[in-house]
Structure 1
Amino acid sequence: MRRWWMAAVPALILGLLMSPADAAAAAPGDGNLAVNATATASYTSPWESIAAIKDDIDPAQSNDTVNPRWGTWPQTGAQWAELTWAQPQALRSAQVYFFDDNGGVRVPASWRLQYWNGSAYADVTGASGYPTAVNAYNRVTFTGVTTTRLRVLLQSGAGSVGLLEVKVYATESPGEGGGGTGWSPPANLVTPLNQVWQHVESTYNPGPSAFRNYGWDQVMANGGSINYCVRWDSSAPVSATLRDQIHASLARQFKKWMDVMAGHNGWPYANVPVKVVGWAVRDRATLQWSDSSVDVYVNDIRENAPQCAQPCGRFFNQNGQYPNCPGGLARHYDMSLWLTAGMSGGAGGDWGQRIGSEYYVNNLNADNIHILLHEMGHSFGLDDFYDWTPTGVGGFLMKAGSASQITEFDKWMFRDWWRHLKSRYGL
């Protein structure tokens, strides 16, 4: 439930072999090895450029009329674009961005990658697939090869063929498995991701640029950390051991979302620590510890539940200043973990997450506390999907009840928010 405004390979060795790490180090930026190669082609239209495929310029769309591109009009049939290196390269994946002007040059009917094995070209093995999406990088991973030449072989379909960019990596492509740089979602997710973002912009007008208390804002304001206060809306006792277990499980679940971003698209933090700075209860005797590791707030009731001090809460001080917080900035809290006895389901927003206390305690050691993960998604802006499902995707965490963990689609929706918000932080 979303509630925003509630308070609270086998390799053939050719000459001197470079290791994958050495090969990546020889390339700039995100390790794209194509930039160090020489590009050639079966045919190039006189007004186009084969060098365009390795200029490391990310296209805005497949019909890019601004940046250089390679095209073969009016030639059709089998066409190829090739990258050649002076020294052997250990290769594991590639990304291909097709040129398609919806006229004489169209996406290919099919394509594949081939490498030079010392005497002939051979198809790479173990290819993950050869998608042909427009307006997106089409990624393929394959069984690693070491070679001096890699060729994109295209079979024309509705027109001639062309490419805007080819990127080649010594490891899995950036964007795989939560890592990498840039915006390169799997081809099959491009359409549903666009649908989701259009829905965000149309439903939550004036859009994300106007709201300044998403989880993104909180993490960035803290320089890469997040502070929580626990609202214990229950009469069940809490030992020091349980207190620490609640903290540890909260940190593990939050880390699952932060791991989605690590190394991706300029995200500046490899790790985002979670600190619990306070607990709120109705009766101090409920908390069975006497140390001062966290601040304790007693019988400060808001929304008929114990509330951590408002002067210390970011929800109540969205300018990031806490002049009346007894512990100052270091003891402020960005979100609340509101644990309510007898509650089923959950709620989440910029103020934090609310779920059942019994459910949480019974799942302290679970790999995925899926209701909490869902509500954390809301804290970073992810929407609910009660009345619609994006095209071509099935179960995913933010469609409540259809998945019990963060799926690939959830990851890319999360990254899409960062893509649209990162400029507000000068990144």
Structure 2
Amino acid sequence: MRRLRSVILAGLVAAGTFLLPAAPASAAPVNLAPSASPSASYTSPWENVAAINDGIDPPSSNDTVNRRWGTWPNTGEQWALLTWSQAQTLTSAQVYFFDDNGGVRVPASWRLQRWTGSAYADIPGTYATATNTYNTVTFAAVSTTRLRVLMQSGQGSVGLLEVKAIGEGAPQTGWNPPANLVTPLNEVWQHVESTYPNLYGFRNYGWDQIMANRGSINYCVRWDTSATVTAAQRDQIHAQLTRQFKKWMDVMAGHNGWPYSTVPLKVVGWAVRDRAQLQWSDNSVDIYVNDIRENAPQCAEPCGRFFNQSGNYPNCPGGASHHYDMSLWLTSGFGGGAGGDWGQRIGSEYFMSNLNTDNVHILLHEIGHSFGLDDFYDWTPTGVGGFLMKAGSASQITEFDAWMFRDWWRHLRSRYGV
């Protein structure tokens, strides 16, 4: 992968304008499910148990866009499990059932169970089986490392779209990486500071964008290909981009004063050469036609943060809510990838062939660059092996990648007053 740096912004040291987030209350109720590892009694080969805690709210019980967990054709007693490395204090849970009105239906009955250390114990509560909504169960606080959703099938197999485990999420404080990572992390940061003299003056990292938006991110898609795209494909592209971006945001949830448990991503526009390539007529996104920059379709510059470092968008059609922070630039025939403050560029064929892949590793790597993470072409920090930002040595975010990411927040957080 190669990292493209902004020519326009490389020398900027503008202070920028940031709206500071409200300080989160200590021990506020938060969804702890995203930090758990999901597993299940059985998963249909075309479904994915990772769906149950990916943080995506389903549009309906028959969600055909986002990932789902289902057990077809298996019936009888089935379960889905969330497992944490440390005990969590839980006070309620919300369960969204998968029901396609066919082979997968809501269960005849279900219940929550906690792990006591030696066995699963039922959690008393009221268990509804409504479709197209979360079914909430509130209970007296329990401390456990595992939460299991146990279901008895009824008219068909069973499935889940999302599980939220609500509990006390007191943020971690300080800097506490594993002892074996202290030396390589220090080496990385010393390398970053010595290599990029404008490190602290630069004000358009992904961190800056999220903080300016008070906890969200907007994207525009540059459709740099002659291929057509349907509404269903558009929605799948949006969903996969959201899932990959969320993997980096999950690294930060509850860590060292990071103020957001989730960072919603919204695709606000598409840029294309020919409007006929986009085979939908709804107005869910803004459409930019034949505005060419770098020999590729460009989303409107007045709406782009790359072109408007002040964070104001007076000439953006539709106003600031239609602005985009980054672009997902999908280019036909493009090998490898590129990433920076402007967004990420990868091959359109590669991305379209990975719409249901758990880890789109080239995109994950390039998103890392958008937050400042460096490449490691010619050196490897002491004591670590394969990791995502060392291209070709890992296909997902590793523990070392996660701590490098957190280290950037440790060094930049003071600029936001948190």
Shorter-normalised TM range: 0.5 to 0.7
- For 1:331 and 1:312, locate their aligned partners in 2 and report how far apart those are by CA, in whole Å: 7
- For 1:7 and 1:367, locate their aligned partners in 2 and report how far apart those are by CA, in whole Å: 34
Match of 1:131 in 2: none
Secondary structure, counterpart of 1:210 in structure 2: coil
For 1:375, which of 366, 379, 391 is the aligned residue? Answer: 366
Match of 1:181 in 2: 173
Secondary structure, counterpart of 1:392 in structure 2: coil
- For 2:189 and 2:339, locate their aligned partners in 1 and report how far apart those are by CA, in whole Å: 19
Q: Does 2:316 match 1:311?
A: no
The answer to whether the 8 Å contact 1:281/1:306 transfers is yes
Q: Give the 3 Å change call, closer, same or farther, for CA 220–330 of structure 1 in structure 2.
A: same
For 1:251, which of 220, 242, 250 is the aligned residue? Answer: 242
Secondary structure, counterpart of 1:413 in structure 2: helix
- For 1:306 and 1:184, locate their aligned partners in 2 and report how far apart those are by CA, in whole Å: 44
Secondary structure, counterpart of 1:194 in structure 2: helix
Secondary structure, counterpart of 2:197 in structure 1: coil
**Offset at 1:344?**
1.0
- 1:183-231 per-residue CA deviation (whole Å, 9 max, x = no partner) reads 1000000000000000110000032x21100000000000100000000
**Offset at 1:30?**
8.0
- Length, aligned pairs only: 269
Structure 2 counterpart of 1:355, one-letter code: I
Higher relative CO (Cα under 8 Å, sequence separation at least 6) belongs to 2
**Which 4+ runs in 1 deviate beyond 2 A?**
28-31, 179-182
Match of 2:190 in 1: 198
Query: Identity of paired residues, percent?
Result: 78
- For 2:383 and 2:242, locate their aligned partners in 1 and report how far apart those are by CA, in whole Å: 32
Q: Give the 3 Å change call, closer, same or farther, for CA 344–266 of structure 1 in structure 2.
A: same
For 2:208, which of 203, 211, 217 is the aligned residue? Answer: 217
The answer to whether the 8 Å contact 2:326/2:342 transfers is yes
- For 1:273 and 1:294, locate their aligned partners in 2 and report how far apart those are by CA, in whole Å: 16
Match of 2:271 in 1: 280
Q: Does 2:339 match 1:348?
A: yes
For 1:420, which of 385, 393, 411 is the aligned residue? Answer: 411
The answer to whether the 8 Å contact 1:30/1:181 transfers is no
| TM-score, scaled to structure 1 | 0.60
The answer to whether the 8 Å contact 1:6/1:351 transfers is no
For 1:227, which of 215, 218, 235 is the aligned residue? Answer: 218
- For 2:305 and 2:3, locate their aligned partners in 1 and report how far apart those are by CA, in whole Å: 19
- For 1:198 and 1:251, locate their aligned partners in 2 and report how far apart those are by CA, in whole Å: 32
Q: Give the 3 Å change call, closer, same or farther, for CA 414–295 of structure 1 in structure 2.
A: same
- 1:10-47 per-residue CA deviation (whole Å, 9 max, x = no partner) reads xxxxxxxxxxxxxxxxxx9789xxxxxxxxxxxxxxxx
What are the ranges of 5 or more consecutive residues in structure 2 without an aligned counterpart? 10-24, 29-85, 88-115, 119-142, 146-170
- For 1:308 and 1:377, locate their aligned partners in 2 and report how far apart those are by CA, in whole Å: 22
Matching of residues 117-132 of structure 1 within 5 Å: none
Structure 2 counterpart of 1:334, one-letter code: D
**Offset at 1:371?**
0.1
Larger radius of gyration: 1
| 250-259 or 198-207: bigger deviation | 198-207
- For 1:237 and 1:379, locate their aligned partners in 2 and report how far apart those are by CA, in whole Å: 28
| TM-score, scaled to structure 2 | 0.62
Structure 2 counterpart of 1:388, one-letter code: W
**Offset at 1:2?**
1.5
Structure 1 counterpart of 2:176, one-letter code: S
For 2:384, which of 393, 397, 411 is the aligned residue? Answer: 393
Match of 1:293 in 2: 284
Match of 1:261 in 2: 252
For 1:362, which of 339, 342, 353 is the aligned residue? Answer: 353
Match of 2:6 in 1: 5
Structure 2 counterpart of 1:231, one-letter code: R
**Offset at 1:403?**
0.1
